[in-house]
């Protein structure tokens, strides 16, 4: 069945009459069944590290909607935790971490070979999913990109402009680059283990790539993605890689060629017609319906969905949102989106 999976066909460069669909954060708080399972787990991190429950929430949107792909339920900050930082979540505010902002703190991080001790439950989740998913459904593994992960490790939390990471970059570039290097190596090891456990595609989420510009974007967004992709391709030449440099704007152009990724995921700030002309010419693209349509629904959702499908219809395309679905989304709007894509007109 692998050769028939629509996601893999699109990632291999095939233009399909109906684009395959999955949705970032498709296992999440907008679904009542997810909320029930999370309550059973006790808290978010306990859910991430419970293979049976993490597999369950990964499967829930597949059962409900029949998406063409399932994405592993985990979090990008499990890697910093596996490297030795403390990680916890504050209700209503998000993640908190201990930080690594000095040469000594970066040097004290665990070696990348030791991350499996913490992350082994994630690999078990992948193994469970590999056997439990429908034969036509692609299993996607993922990790955060080094720049995005490093911004949390430096600030100890999410920030609106990644200012602490930019400050460290300017004030102590050697320490900043040592941190980025450690995260890059850990990401290669982590994604390799996901592939060994059964992931058929992996995605690199660079959620804060848009705060990098010019040479910094090339050095700290493009180069780590190229390095990770090259290492994975050397080991697993047939495993596709999706890159998501969110907020890259015009820097989306050429990203696939310079990094080697098989597909570029696009955020909703990019005009689909522009992206078709300038990004899709290099291969598969993914995206990029605005997530707010999952809240508001109606004819505007239908029209915007048609516009995205039409814009990318002449090349390989995976339909998705431009970012993750939000907790206030209406599950019925997700069904409307899927029905609109699959109906064609």
Cβ–Cβ < 8 Å for 202, 142: yes
Does 75 participate in catalysis according to the annotation?
yes
Does 96 participate in catalysis according to the annotation?
no
Number of C-beta neighbours around residue 231 at 10 A? 17
Catalytic residue among 35, 38, 64, 96: 38
> Strands, E, within the chain: which ranges?
69-71, 87-90, 94-97, 138-144, 201-206, 241-245, 263-265, 284-289, 317-321
Burial of 249 (0-12, 13-18, 19+ CB in 10 A): middle
Does 227 participate in catalysis according to the annotation?
no
Distance CA 305, CA 321 (A): 10
Distance CA 263, CA 256 (A): 7
SS3 content of the chain, % helix, strand, coil (to 5): 55, 15, 35
Number of C-beta neighbours around residue 64 at 10 A? 14
Distance CA 16, CA 27 (A): 26
Distance CA 28, CA 67 (A): 14
Strand, coil or helix: what is 240?
coil
Residue 25 falls in which region: left (phi positive, over 0), alpha (psi -120 to 50) or beta: left
Distance CA 133, CA 39 (A): 23
Return the closest-CA partner of residue 100 out of 135, 149, 63, 133: 149
Catalytic residue among 30, 34, 49, 152: 152
Catalytic residue among 9, 64, 75, 218: 75
Cβ–Cβ < 8 Å for 276, 253: no
Does 25 participate in catalysis according to the annotation?
yes
CA angle, 73 then 77 then 83, to 5°: 120
Catalytic residue among 9, 29, 64, 96: 29
Q: Which residues pair with 318 in a beta bridge?
A: 286
Distance CA 116, CA 39 (A): 27
User: Which residues are known to be catalytic?
Assistant: 25, 29, 38, 75, 152
């Amino acid at each position: 069945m692998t050769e028939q999976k629509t996601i893999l066909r699109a990632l291999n460069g095939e233009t399909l009459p109906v684009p395959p669909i999955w949705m970032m954060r498709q296992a999440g708080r907008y679904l009542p069944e997810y909320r029930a399972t999370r309550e059973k787990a006790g808290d978010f991190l306990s859910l991430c590290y419970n293979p049976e429950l993490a597999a369950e929430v990964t499967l829930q949107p597949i059962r409900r909607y029949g998406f063409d792909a399932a994405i592993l339920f985990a979090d990008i900050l499990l890697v910093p935790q596996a490297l030795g930082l403390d990680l916890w979540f504050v209700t209503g505010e998000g993640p908190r971490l201990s930080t690594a902002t000095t040469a000594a703190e970066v040097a004290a991080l665990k070696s990348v070979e030791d991350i499996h001790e913490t992350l082994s439950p994630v690999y078990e989740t992948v193994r469970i999913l590999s056997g439990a998913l429908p034969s036509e459904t692609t299993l996607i593994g993922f990790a955060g990109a080094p720049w995005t992960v490093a911004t949390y490790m430096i600030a100890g939390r999410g920030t609106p402009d990644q200012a602490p990471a930019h400050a460290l970059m300017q004030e102590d570039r050697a320490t900043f680059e040592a941190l980025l290097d450690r995260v890059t190596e850990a990401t290669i090891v982590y994604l390799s283990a996901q592939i060994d456990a059964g992931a058929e595609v992996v995605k690199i989420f660079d959620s804060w790539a848009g705060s990098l510009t010019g040479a910094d974007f090339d050095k700290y967004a493009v180069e780590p993605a190229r390095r990770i992709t090259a290492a994975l391709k050397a080991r697993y030449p047939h495993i596709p890689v999706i890159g998501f440099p969110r907020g890259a704007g015009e820097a989306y152009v050429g990203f696939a060629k310079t990094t080697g990724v098989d597909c570029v995921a696009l955020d909703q700030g990019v005009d689909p017609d522009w992206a078709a002309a300038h990004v899709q010419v290099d291969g598969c693209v993914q995206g990029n319906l605005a997530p707010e349509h999952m809240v508001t629904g109606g004819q505007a959702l239908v029209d915007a969905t048609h516009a995205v499908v039409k814009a990318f219809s002449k090349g390989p395309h995976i339909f998705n949102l431009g970012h993750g679905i939000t907790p206030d989304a209406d599950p019925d709007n997700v069904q409307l989106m899927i029905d609109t894509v699959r109906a064609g007109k």
